[in-house]
Amino acid sequence: MNFLSLKVRGIRSKGKAGWVKGLKSSHGVDFLAVQESKIMDPSVWLLPKCWGNSTFLFDCVNSDGIAGGLICWWDPSCFRQTGVIKSHHVLVISGDMVHSGFHVNIANVHAPNDAAGRRNFWNELLFYRRSLFGLRIFLGDFNLVRSIDERVNSDFLAQNALSFNSFIADADLFEYNMCGHKYTYMSSNGEKLSKLDRSLVCNDFMSNWPSAELTTLSRHLSDHCPLLLSIKNSDYGHIPFRFYDSWLQLPGFVDFVNSIANNFVFDGPADIALAADGQFVGQPLSGINDIKITHLIG
C-alpha cells in the first residue's frame, strides 16, 4: 500500500482538489489522509474530485467552523475497514490490509497549536495505542519538532521537544529516513522552515517493511509538503552475480567454467538464457579439479 498525508489548508480552495487527485493518481495512493480540510459534511461532488473515478470509501471529522477538519479516503480492494475512532484532532481508521492480511490502525493526526493542548493530545494517542490491537501508523501534522536542527529562523523550545520525544518513546513509534525535502513546512515569506509533518510507525510495522520509503513531495498549493509512505515491494529480478578477478587464479577454475558453459542446455532466446535456471549435464559440480561451490559464490 501507498499512504499519502497532506495538510491542505482548505480543500475547497481553488485548484486544491485537483492537486490532491493528481498526487493520488501519479503516486498510486491507496490510503489518503488530509488535515485541515476546513469543511463540514464533505459533499458527494467534492470527494471524487480529490480521489478520482475509481472506487473509494471515506470517513471524516468535520471542521470547527473554518478551522480543522480531517478526511481519509481508501481503496476498498487494498484496505478493508473494521472500525473508526474520531476526535477533534485525530481520525483513526482501523482495518485489514487485503494483500498482506495485517490488521492496522491508521491515525490521521492534526495536533493542537498550544503546548498544553498537545500534552493532552499525546495522552489521547497513547490511550489509542494501548487499546487497539494490530499495527499502528500515525501520520499528519504534529505541530512540533524533535530537535533544534528541524527548525530554521523560528524559536526552538526544548521542553516541547522533550514532551514530543517522550510520547514517541512511550508509544513505541519509529521513523523511516525521510527522502526529498528536509523540512515539511515553509512560511509564506519563505524564511521559516520546520519539520512538522511525519509518518510514525510501530516496531512491528517497521520490522515487516524495513525497506519502506518515506518521501516528502513538493509543496504546491499548501505551505506543507505532502508525505508519501510507500510499502509496496519492488521486484528488480535476480540479485546481481559478483565475479572476482582472483577466481581466475584458482587452479582449474577456467576449465570448470568452460565445462559448465559447454554443457549448458536451454531452449529459447539467447538473452533469456542468461536469467534462466539452466539444466547442467556432464560432470558433477563438486568433482572438477577439487573446485568447491563456495569458491564460485564467495
- How confident is the model over 83-100, as pLDDT tens digits? 999 999 999 999 999 999
pLDDT reading at 286 higher than 50 = no
List Cα–Cα distances, 164 to 124, 136, 144, 153, 264, in angstroms. Answer: 13, 17, 7, 20, 62
Q: What is the pLDDT of residue 267?
A: 67
The CATH number for 2-230, chosen from 3.60.10.10, 3.40.50.300, 3.60.21.10, 3.40.309.10, is: 3.60.10.10
Question: What is d(CA 214, CA 240) in angstroms, rounded to the nearest whole number?
Answer: 26
Q: Confidence class of residue 43 from pLDDT cuts 50, 70 and 90?
A: confident
Q: What average pLDDT score do residues 5-18 get?
A: 92
Residue with cell 467534492: 46
pLDDT reading at 41 higher than 50 = yes
Using a pLDDT cut of 90, give the percent of the chain over it.
68
Of 83 and 284, the one with more pLDDT: 83
| Mean predicted lDDT score pLDDT of the chain | 86
CB distance 173 to 201 below 8 Å: yes
In 53-157, where does DSSP find H-type helix?
Answer: 115-131
For the segment 218-275, what is each residue's pLDDT rounded down to a tens digit? 988 999 999 999 986 555 455 566 677 788 888 888 888 888 888 877 666 665 565 5
Closest CA to 132 of 99, 169, 104, 102: 104
- Read off the pTM: 0.77
For the segment 142-159, what is each residue's pLDDT rounded down to a tens digit? 999 999 999 999 899 999
Handedness of CA 85, 90, 91, 92 (dihedral sign): negative
Cross-strand bridge partners of residue 194:
151, 185
The full set of domain ranges for the chain reads 2-230, 245-297
Handedness of CA 85, 88, 89, 91 (dihedral sign): positive
Which DSSP helix (H) or strand (E) runs through 180? strand 178-180
